[in-house]
Amino acid sequence: MKANLAIDFSPLKKYPDFRRLWLSGLISYFGSMFTYVALPFQVKELTGSYLAVGLIGLVEIIPLVVFGLYGGVLADHMDRKKMIWATEFAALFLSAILLINSLLPSPSLALIYIVAALFSAVDGLQRPSADAILPRLVEHKDLPAASALMSLRWQMGMIAGPSLAGVLISIFGVSAGFILDIATYFLSLIILIRVKSVPPIEISENPSFSSLVAGVKYATSRKDLMGTYLVDLSAMFFAMPTALFPFWAEQVGAPWALGLFYAAGTIGSILVTLTSGWVKNYTKHGRAIFLAALGWGVAITFAGLVNNLALILIFLVLAGASDMVSALFRSVLWNQSIPDEFRGRLAGVELISYSVGPLGGQTRAGFTAERTSLRTSVVSGGLLCIGFVLFFTALLPDFRKYDSESNEFAVSEAKKRKTAPNN
């Protein structure tokens, strides 16, 4: 039984370039978590406002949408490895700006928001290439295991990063967090240099508005794909209280536990990932995504209803576990059923679904808490999540019934990739 459940590490052994990409991302994510914690902490210290912290998410939405879609177009036309390297370097430069600002006698709040927006633009350009590169580095049959490992690297960074960041920032200030982030970007760039080039396929279109429209049309034509986008977007928008964590920790009398609030969801995620061996044998991806999204909403609702630190963290762990189940099956569904000529553009659409939701959710959570209370914000968000997940799943039966063994697109791509060289 253990053998069936244990995460499959074989792609790290079989594919050297995948291993380098994985290690680079692990180091980069770890460092980014220090900025992830430092930014809302710094805004909270400067303003003391729920809404001001929530606005970080709001200013990130438009750049993410615009550059995410364009980044998807570029991912289908340019070398995906070069795109990842260039955007990683740009992120290093932005972290340096935050460091300089934090060292000023009176740090600029406006500059923090501007850099947050630029970070979002860079992320929008990078993520489609980072997502779309995977089917080009590993074989089709190894995509479920590779997807789980890509999640694992994020989780390892998320688990260690926020916990250490909370301690480091509370002792040495936000500047220390930015310094560490910069150092990890340097290491990530050095490792990325050795990843092979991943040029576009021969039939790729030139980057243009029409090629973007073609990608969006393909996405909307597939109701199974639309289900994954809408369910995840709804869940994250209504039930993502991350912006409230600095206030939530104080409200329960445990400001020292801020890092645990950030890490709890990741603990749940990593528990699922480490036992993800079963994923490759479970084919009903639509059902798994639906049930996991419901689990997220239920867990967030109960986290808001209790007022005990231990119970809150337990429910956040359960929420993270549910989210990871959804993320694993969404990633496998996308990578196994989308043609490579659309993979970059669809990765841009996917980026919007799984990133805009959390960013908008931060603003919704902050605004609702400002007008009502923290508890009302969290509980109402969880209940709305449950309602909208049920609605979209009922509306899109192709999504609910998706099975990788019978879905026409998944079957077609499996046959195509068996005969194609893995370049």
Domain membership flag for residue 199 = no
Best CA proximity match to 222, nearest among 94, 22, 412, 45? 412
Domain range for 278 is 13-194+209-419
| Cβ atoms 269, 151 nearer than 8 A | yes
Domain membership flag for residue 235 = yes
Domain membership flag for residue 266 = yes
Domain membership flag for residue 203 = no
Domain membership flag for residue 54 = yes
Global pTM reads 0.73
Domain membership flag for residue 342 = yes
Indicate which CATH number applies to the domain containing 57. Answer: 1.20.1250.20
Each residue's pLDDT, cut to its tens digit, for the chain (423 residues) gives: 344 677 888 899 999 999 999 999 999 988 888 888 888 888 888 888 878 887 887 788 888 888 888 888 888 888 889 999 999 999 999 999 999 999 999 999 999 999 999 999 999 899 888 888 888 888 878 888 888 888 888 778 777 787 788 788 878 888 999 999 999 999 999 999 999 888 877 655 567 778 888 888 998 899 999 999 999 999 999 998 988 998 899 899 888 888 788 888 888 988 888 888 887 778 899 999 999 999 999 999 999 999 899 999 999 999 999 999 998 899 888 888 888 788 888 888 887 777 778 878 888 998 899 899 999 999 999 999 999 999 999 999 999 999 888 888 888 888 877 766 554
Give the count of domains, the chain: 1
Domain membership flag for residue 204 = no
Q: Rounded distance, CA 387 to CA 395, Å?
A: 12
